[in-house]
Each structure stands twice: as C-alpha cells, then as structure tokens.
Structure 1
Amino acid sequence: MTDVTDVTDGHPPDFSEHHPELARHGGLTAALRATAADQGLDLGGGSPAAGADREPTVAWFDSPRGRMKVDLRGAEPGFDIALFSDRGWFANWANGSTADIAEAAGVLVAWQHGATLAELSRRFPFMTSSRLSRGYDEGDQVAVMWELQIGDPAFAQYRELLTALRAEPQLAPMFPFFSMWTLRLAKDSYREQPGELLIRRRDDGSYLLWSSSETEEDQREFRRLDDVVAAAVALRTTL
C-alpha cells in the first residue's frame, strides 16, 4: 500500500481540492501511471529516488536517455516537469509546467519513446529547453557550444581567442567551456575522456596554457595570440 504520509507534519497531504486524482490513486506516481494507461500508454511503474515513497507529491520515472521528474506545485494546482539526460555535460535538458495531469503524463511517455526536444516543444508548447540541450539532442553540441561561448558577453575578453581556436581544424572538434574563469577545451563532449586543454587570460593580455595532466608549474606563458593557438594545437596531440 502506498504511504502518503507527509514527512513535515506526520499527516496525509490533502489532495482533494485541486488534485482529486492524486487522492484517488494515493500519490503522484500512481496517478500519472493510471492517467497514461487511460490514454492507452504505458509509463511503467516508476523508479523512486531514495525516500520518495514518503513523498507522494514527487514522481520519478526512467527513460532510455535519463530520469524524469514531476513535482506537484505547492501554491497552485499543476505539475512541474523536468527531463534529465545522462548524455553530455548538462543533465537538465527540458522543463515545463502544466495544470493538466494528462499532458504531464503525455510528456513523460513521449520522452520515453524517443521524441526529440523539437518534437516535444511542438506537441507540448509549455516545455522549454536550452540551446545546448537541443544541440546534444540534434548531435551538433560542439558547434553550438562554440557559438554560445563566443557570443557570451560575460567572456568578451576571450572572444578573439575563442574565434582563433575554433578556426584551427585540430581544435574545433573540442568542447569549449569555462570554469573558474579559465577556458577549458575538452576532448570529449560526453565526458568519456578526461583530457582537457586549459587557457587563462591574464589582466595584462598574456595567456597561460597547460593540460589537465599537468600542474600549475607546467603552465606556459604566451604574449601573442597566434603563439598560444599554435601551442594549443601542439599540446592537443599529447592528450
């Protein structure tokens, strides 16, 4: 029997006013599963996270690309949906909210059965996704990430460097991102390999270059943009 005890006060949550379907089925996971079945769809039994059996207002389901989460809104009727992926650098691929549990169930089933993010947004306009997650979904995440980083005003001081690095055929396939105000070029956009090049631009306009297998003592200093790009090409072969 489903435990619908609210962990905050020890009393069952009251679903009756806004979500009678949850009261009828004893929690969000069962209600979503039943709603999908009413549409002739199979959502599976749900795969709860640790402690989720005591959270009847949270539901987790699995998909071939990653986990899916639905939260019951607190202040108003409705459902918040998050789709996660185990592919790539950013796990949260899409989010959305709807007041219709049938729509929420439809999103989950569509994602389970391989709908792309573009298809998902056409069928369920309340679902939104980032440009990078769509890039991963469409297989051009590296090109998208270069565009995002070059166009990001927060890293305007790196724009000339980023443009020059992308122009190099040996560096363009690498995945660029920033961490601690240091540019990192990763060998693999799926994190399958740890190899990275690291470049930090200093206040005086010079650059420091090293690899993820090296220490700070191994940093190389360059004054000219062409020199740091050429050195990055050479260091790429050691990753």
Structure 2
Amino acid sequence: MDTHRAGLYPDVAAPGGLVAAMKEAARLRGCDIGPVSPTPDGVAIETARGYVSVDPAVEERLFRMGIRIPGYDWAIGSTDDLGLLVEAVAAWRQGMSFDELEGGFQFLELDEFTRALESGEPTSSQWSDLLSTDFYRRQWNLLRRFHADETLRCFFPTVSHGAVRLQVDRLDGVSRQVLVAELEGERYEVVRVGEPGATWVEVPSADLIACLRAFLTEQ
C-alpha cells in the first residue's frame, strides 16, 4: 500500500493488507465472514447471495461494498468504519433480510438494489447478455427455446462447461437448479444440481420443457 493510502488506512496497512485486516476485524467482533480473496481493487467474499466486494477508495478513507452476480454488479453502500463494514458483510453472508440489513447498517442503500431484484432486472439482463454474446453461440438454440417459455425465462441462466444452468434464486448459489446439455439428434441430458444422488438423465426433445418446469417448480 502506497504512503498516501497507508495514511488513510493504517488499520489495513499494519496487518499487511485488506484481507488480513478484515479477518482480524472479524475475529475481534466474533463475526464469520468466510474466506476472503484478494482482487485487483480490494477483496471478494463468496456467499450464497452472490460475491460481496469491498474496495477501498483512493482519495478518501471509504470502504465501498458491492454485490456481484453473473453479468451484474451493484454498489450498495460505503463506510469509513472497517469494523462496521465487517459486521455488515457477516450479516449479508448469514442471510439477514434486506430490511434488517438496511435497518441495522445505516450506510447500506438497498432500495434500488431490492427493486431491481424484484423487477427481475438482473435476470433479464443476464438473458440478454447470453443471447447476444458470440461466445455462447453454441448454446443459443437452447437458450432461445428456454427464454421463449414464460416459466423458464423467469429463472436465472448461466452457461457452465457448455451446459445451460437455470437457477431459481439468482442470489442463492444452492437454490434449486438444473443443468442441461445438448446432445446430437434432438437429445438432451439433464441433471438436478445439488440433489442427493443426482445423475445425468437423457430427456427427449418433446419432454424437455415440461421436465425442466417440473424440476424447478415442484413443491
């Protein structure tokens, strides 16, 4: 850390960087923030509700907190208090409701973020990105078929190792989800991710949409 930034962040410079500083602050406050990974601008913490990013500002002492999910980045607040920041990260990671987070941590600004989630903005943006990026051209036919279905287009899509993933809750990495791989001859393989004993099963084209709807919406 350069001299100017060290002057702004002595509690970060002393232990050797933001990763160490956040771990120490969490230990002192009895918080569980999970594994902290360095990034070019700060740190990232994987949670079931997306990646939490923390980036220190350059010109003033300010820890900026944001949320990252595939194709979507959102700044949700900033504070000069590292301890308070760590407590907010821990609460986010533990699944505290948005209302409780905003009430308990005054520096968080979640109104626009939650409205975007409720309106389906991240999901819509993700569909648009996948359907317009040449990198995913091999999956376009499958993606278009899913997007044309009024039920399936509501789920959050990603592409993993050539297979299309549909996930019920875009902020919950362990929510109900399926992977679909396209084979030759109008054949598909489907796996219910995270289900005990889950294995790939072959599904004929005519049954694919009904099968996915059943997997993703069953009670």
Selected match of 1:228 from 190, 208, 217: 208
| Aligned residue identity for 1:172 | R
- Indicate the structure (1 or 2) with the bigger Cα radius of gyration: 1
Distance, in Å, in 2 between the alignment partners of 1:145 and 1:135 is: 18
Report the structure, 1 or 2, having the larger helix content: 2
1:38 paired residue number: none
TM-score by length of 2: 0.55
TM-score by length of 1: 0.51
1:149 paired residue number: 130
Distance 1:93 1:159, change over 3 A: farther
Contact 1:93 1:133 in 2 (8 A): no
The alignment-based identity, stated in percent, is 13
Contact 2:155 2:167 in 1 (8 A): yes
Distance, in Å, in 2 between the alignment partners of 1:56 and 1:135 is: 22
Gaps of 5+ in 1: 1-14, 23-27, 35-44, 72-79, 118-128
For residues 190-229 of structure 1, what are the structure 2 equivalents within 5 Å? Answer: 190-191=171-172, 193-212=174-193, 213=195, 215-216=198-199, 219-222=201-204, 224=205, 227-229=207-209
2:141 paired residue number: 160
Shift in Å at residue 176 of structure 1?
Answer: 1.1
| Aligned residue identity for 2:215 | L
Corresponding residue pairs, total: 166
Shift in Å at residue 202 of structure 1?
Answer: 1.6
Structure 1 residue runs of 4+, over 6 Å off?
A: 66-71
| Aligned residue identity for 2:41 | I
The RMSD of aligned alpha carbons is 4.4
Larger RCO of the pair (alpha carbons < 8 Å, separation 6+): 2
Contact 1:84 1:91 in 2 (8 A): yes
2:8 paired residue number: 32
